[in-house]
Every structure is written in structure tokens, then in C-alpha cells.
Amino acid sequence: MDDSQIDAYLTRIGVVRPVRPDIEALRDLQQAHLLSVPFENLSIHLGEPIVLDEGSLLDKIVDHRRGGFCYELNGAFAALLTALGYPVRLLSARVFDGDRAGPPFDHLALRVDLDEPWLVDVGFGKFSRHPLRMEADGDQHDPGGVFRIVRDNRHGDVDVILDGTPEYRLDPRPYELSDFVPTCWWQQTSPQSHFTRSLTCSRMTESGRVTLSGAKLIHTIDGERREQLLDGDAEVLDAYRKHFGISLDRVPTVAASA
């Protein structure tokens, strides 16, 4: 990324360039990203290819002011952090379904090494607002909940637990963005992927979250959930613009075959 791309990205998330790559600035960057860039899978239902390279991710998220899912959001954020001087590693994670961990590369998360290693994730939907200490024992209190990082001494994997529930299992080895391409392709094409079977656009807010799932608009404010069923395509398109800054020509719909 060159200076103009860095400035455009920082403008996209509404922060000024950090003076130095430290943990205080990292907290601000993560929180600003979560407040500005939605977690969404609209491309899958609009017939738009998802391409995992830096140029394509910046074009989508920064230039066209869209969001994305984990490979896109954390992939782009890793590029920004690296350009700002942060040492970043891309980690593969297996997302839990109940007590069972999913396949490798099911999720992309970030490790940022400062005075100690930090877990950074802007691509998991409802998660931590701030970076998490990867080597801390005990509870870590965050506005998103109470987190624990549990290490498996047999294999070196790391389980991330939120409010007592396992979220995902991290492989501590670093990977390249290209390593996630096969699973990203599966996620956007397979009828068995929950991304092809559902439609979501969700963004953290100062008091909770706002989510648009199909024609259902959901506001969670201080823990209270409020649902509204939108009436027709015009209202849905307006909600994408109003709540997520996304301008679409048509409403995305889940394909019947998915």
C-alpha cells in the first residue's frame, strides 16, 4: 500500500494516521474498523466474485465502501496494519459448531506482535471490540463479553472462548493470504456453506449492533433486541444505504439452489 491508499483506508474508517504502531493505536484502529466496515456476504448473492488479493480487497472495502466476510475484512486490515508498521501474521482458525471445531482455514484471524502477541479480529461478526492478549491466563473483559484464551499444550492450538462458549480454534502457524483461497472459494460456492444459504449484513454500533438479514432489520441496543420487517425492495435498499453506507442497484437474494 502506498501513502495515498493508507490515507484513503484511514479516511474510510474515520481515524487519523497513528504516530507510532503501538497497542493504543491498534485498539483505536480495530474499534474504528468494526464501527465503519460491515460484516457482509452480499457479493455471494449478487454474483460478484470474491478475490483474495490486496488490490481487489482495497477496491471493494475502501474505494467502493463495502464490507465482506473474514477473509476480506481481516485480509484488508492486515494490509493496512502492515503498511502502518505493525508486525502481522495471518492465522487459520477452525470455527466451533457446538463442541466440534470445523475444518482448517474456516476463518482468518490476525496476530499482531508488539511487546506481547495480540489477537486482532475485525471479521467474525459479534466478537471483541479490542485486541486480546494471546498469552494471558484468565478472563479478559471486553465490551463484547468475557474472553479466555486457552492453549492446548499437546498440539499448540489456541481456543478462543467468549462468555464460556468456544468460538474458534487457532493454528499458531503463520500463513499467506493465498493459503485461504481454496476455502474462501468453497465458502462462496458450496450449497453446504452457511454463507450461500443465508444473507447478512451486520455492523457494530456504539451501543450494540445493527443487522440486516434479508428484509429483517435488527437493532440490538444495550442488550435489547428490536426487529423490523421491511416492506419491499425500496426499503431494503434504503436500509443498506442508511445503516451500512452500501449503495446497491438491486436487492441480493439467496438462490433457491443454495
Active site (annotated) includes residue 70:
yes
> Is 45 a known active-site residue?
no
Nearest to 22 by CA among 131, 124, 110, 123: 131
Q: Is 83 exposed, middle or buried (0-12, 13-18, 19+ CB in 10 A)?
A: middle
Q: Are 73 and 144 in contact (CB under 8 A)?
A: no
Options 33, 107, 130, 243, the catalytic residue: 107
What confidence score (pLDDT) does residue 91 get? 98
Set 33, 45, 70, 243: catalytic member: 70
Active site residue 121: yes
Residue that the C-alpha cell 486490515 belongs to: 77
User: pLDDT category, 256, cuts 50, 70, 90?
Assistant: low
170 by Cβ neighbours in 10 Å (0-12 / 13-18 / 19+) ranks as buried
Among candidate residues 45, 106, 121, 243, the one labeled active-site is 121
For 160-199, how does the pLDDT look when each residue is reduced to its tens digit (9 = 90+)? 999 999 999 999 999 999 999 999 999 999 999 999 999 9
Report, as an integer, the average pLDDT of 2-20: 97
97-131 pLDDT, tens digit per residue, is 988 999 999 999 999 999 999 999 999 988 999 99
